[in-house]
Amino acid sequence: MTPLRTAGLAAALLFAALTIYAYRRGRIGNGDLLVRLSVFTLPLLVFSVLPGTLQWTFDELSFRKGGGHQVMGATVLAVGVLYLFAFTLAGRGEKSRRDLTRLIENLALEQFRATGHPEQFAGGVAVVIPAYNEADNIDHVLGSLPAMVAGYPLHAIVVDDGSADATTDRAREAGAAAVRLPLNRGQGAALRTGYRLALATGAEIVVTMDADGQHQPSELSRLVGPIADGDADVVNGSRVLGEADPSHAAREMGIRMFARLLSILTWSRVTDPACGYRAVRTESLRGLEFRQDQFHNSEFIVEASKKNLHTIEVPVTVSSRLSGTSKKPPHFRYGMGFANALVRAWLR
């Protein structure tokens, strides 16, 4: 036996021993045990002990002896196996992510039912406010909310996205129903949780707004009014139609570019694809599917279009943050994430 085959045999036996040890200690499950033994250990053993066993496979693939062709053949087969393994892992990772999402949302729902007095939202407007480390701003935002809008009573739900400060406590002290997620997952995940909480209350209309003071509570009637009058299912706020404090040139260019792209993809007029100040009829939420943990706005616009919801835009004012720094990633990474979320929502 050549030194290379001896090394392969030793590696296969060592990997098999480590795999069985990990299985017996409960670190891997039945599926992982089977994959590791059948995909990695067994082929390596066969190559090391009986290298001629796979000669037929190489011959059929035209990787015959000589000139390094068999080495090339082994490499091609290995890449194929690794691709299948990576594909399997990606599927498992997505399933784990969805399981974690359901767990976090279920915990938030139980917390909301225990502390949020969901019965007060019935027949009114639920304002969902995702917040991450906004203890210095959230009480001002909540204190600015009116008690009534367009004839509906209004109550707030603050979804604390795993803050490290006292955001939840400040929100509850200000009179809002507040739940704290066990870890930070992104604005999209917090909004998805807030939608589920709002759906459990019997609220007629759901409004989303930021916790940093950029959106003006005095403009709530512009968003809620068309839905209350039966003129729309979704009302998106637009700083392009309204006003906004000066922003970075790259961000303004990105808003214009994505607005044109979304207008084409949804066969509608979109002027501000990045504004999170919107209202939606609660029943309309039931047919929408949200998967993005971070970049929610493009996904919402695409989903609403695919479900043929009557959507309009109204002018709103977007101001600078009351205090603190933005949680958004740098402009280029934000644009790439926004584009990724848009394409994924459009393709599914």
Token pair listed for 21: 């040890």
φ and ψ of 213, to 5 deg: 90, 5
Indicate whether 221 pLDDT > 70. yes
Q: Is the pLDDT of residue 279 over 90?
A: yes
pLDDT at 345: 80
Is the pLDDT assigned to residue 147 strictly greater than 60? yes
Q: Residue written as tokens 């939420």? A: 285
Cα(233)–Cα(220) distance, integer angstroms: 15
Per residue in 104-138, pLDDT (tens digit) is 999 999 999 999 899 999 999 999 999 999 999 99
Global model pTM greater than 0.85:
no
Q: What whole-number distance in Å separates Cα of residue 335 and Cα of residue 128?
A: 25
Which two tokens mark 217? 């509570």
Condensed to tens digits (0 to 9), the pLDDT of residues 183-192 reads 999 899 999 9
> Highest mean pLDDT: which of 87-91, 113-117, 340-344?
113-117
Return the structure tokens found at 96: 């784990």
Residue whose structure tokens are 């509608």: 268
Question: How far apart are alpha carbons 108 and 159 in whole angstroms?
Answer: 9
Instruction: List strand residue ranges (DSSP E) for the chain, in order.
Output: 125-131, 148-149, 152-160, 177-180, 205-208, 234-244, 278-281, 311-318
pLDDT in tens, 296-320: 999 999 999 999 999 999 999 999 8
- Average pLDDT over the chain reads 85
Check if the beta carbon of residue 176 is closer than 8 Å to that of residue 157.
yes
Range 192-218 average pLDDT: 95
**Which runs of consecutive H residues, i.e. helices, occur in the chain?**
3-24, 30-35, 42-49, 55-60, 69-115, 138-143, 167-173, 187-199, 220-228, 249-266, 282-285, 296-306, 331-347
What whole-number distance in Å separates Cα of residue 34 and Cα of residue 55? 25
User: What stretch(es) of the chain map to CATH 3.90.550.10?
Assistant: 116-347
Which among 54, 58, 83, 60 is positioned nearest to 68, based on CA atoms? 58
Q: How far is CA 91 from CA 84, 86, 87, 97, 98, in A?
A: 11, 9, 6, 10, 11
Higher pLDDT, residue 271 or 245: 271
CA–CA separation, 331 and 187 (whole Å): 17
**Angle made by CA atoms 87, 93, 95, in degrees to the nearest 5:** 110
Q: What is the pLDDT of residue 230?
A: 94
Which secondary-structure segment (H or E) carries 24? helix 3-24
Residue 84 is predicted with a pLDDT of: 63
Q: What is the pLDDT of residue 69?
A: 54
Of the chain, the percentage scoring pLDDT greater than 90 comes to 50
Q: What is the mean pLDDT of residues 150-166?
A: 95
For position 65, what pLDDT does the model report? 57
CATH number given to 116-347:
3.90.550.10
Strand partners for 128: 157, 208
